[in-house]
Structure 1
Amino acid sequence: MAEPERPKAQTEGAAPAASATHMVLIPSYNPGVKLRDTLHAARAHWSPVWVVVDGSTDGSADWLRAQAAQDPGLRVIVLPENRGKGAAVLHGIELAAREGFTHALTMDSDGQHPAELIEQFMHASQAAPQAMVLGVPQFGAEAPRIRVLGRKVSNGWANLETLGAGIGDSLFGFRVYPIAPLIRVMRGQRFMRRFDFDPEAAVRLAWAGVPPVNLPARVRYFSADEGGVSHFKYLRDNTLLTWMHARLFLGFLVRLPVLLGRRLLPSERPNMKH
Structure 2
Amino acid sequence: MTYQPATRPTPIPTPRTIETPTATHLVLIPSYNPGAKVFDTVRAARHQWMPVWVVVDGSTDGTADGLRALAACDPGLRVIVLPQNRGKGAAVLYGIELAAKQGFTHVLTMDSDGQHPAELIPDFMAASAARPDAMILGMPVFDASAPALRVRGRKVSNWWANLETLWMGIGDSLFGFRVYPIASLIKVMRGQRWMRRFDFDPEAVVRMGWLGVRPVNLPAPVKYFRADEGGVSHFNYARDNLLLTWMHTRLFFGFLVRLPVLVMQRFRSSRR
- TM-based fold match above 0.5: yes
CA spacing shift, 1:267–1:77, aligned 2, 3 Å: farther
| Letter aligned with residue 185 of structure 1 | V
Residue in 2 that maps onto 1:96: 99
Summarize deviations over 1:109-164 as a string: whole Å, max 9, x none.
00000000000000000000000000000000110011001110000000000000
The answer to whether 1:198 aligns with 2:190 is no
Give 1:263 shift: 1.2
Alignment of 1:9-48 (within 5 A): 13-48=16-51
TM-score by length of 1: 0.93
Q: How far apart are the structure 1 equivalents of 2:109 and 2:175? A: 10
Alignment of 1:65-76 (within 5 A): 65-76=68-79
Residue in 2 that maps onto 1:7: none
| Letter aligned with residue 42 of structure 1 | A
Summarize deviations over 1:10-69 as a string: whole Å, max 9, x none.
x97253411000000000000012111101000000000000000000111111111111
Q: Segments of 4+ in structure 1 off by > 4 A?
A: none
Between the two proteins, the alignment pairs up a number of residues equal to: 259
Query: Which of 228, 237, 242 matches 1:239?
Result: 242
| Letter aligned with residue 187 of structure 2 | R
The answer to whether 1:156 aligns with 2:159 is yes
The answer to whether 1:207 aligns with 2:202 is no
Q: Is the 2:36–2:63 contact (alpha carbons within 8 Å) kept by the matching residues of 1?
A: no
The answer to whether 1:87 aligns with 2:90 is yes
Alignment of 1:112-191 (within 5 A): 112-191=115-194
Q: Is the 1:155–1:168 contact (alpha carbons within 8 Å) kept by the matching residues of 2?
A: yes
Residue in 1 that maps onto 2:254: 251
RMSD of aligned Cα (Å): 1.3
TM-score by length of 2: 0.93
Query: Which of 222, 226, 235 matches 1:223?
Result: 226
Q: Is the 2:17–2:46 contact (alpha carbons within 8 Å) kept by the matching residues of 1?
A: no
Could you say what secondary structure the match of 2:269 adopts? coil
| Letter aligned with residue 219 of structure 2 | P
- Percent identity for Structure 1 against Structure 2: 75
| Letter aligned with residue 223 of structure 1 | R
Q: How far apart are the structure 2 equivalents of 1:178 and 1:162? A: 18
**Which sections of structure 1, spanning at least 5 residues, go unmatched?**
1-10, 270-274
| Letter aligned with residue 247 of structure 2 | M
Q: How far apart are the structure 1 equivalents of 2:222 and 2:39? A: 18
| Letter aligned with residue 162 of structure 1 | T
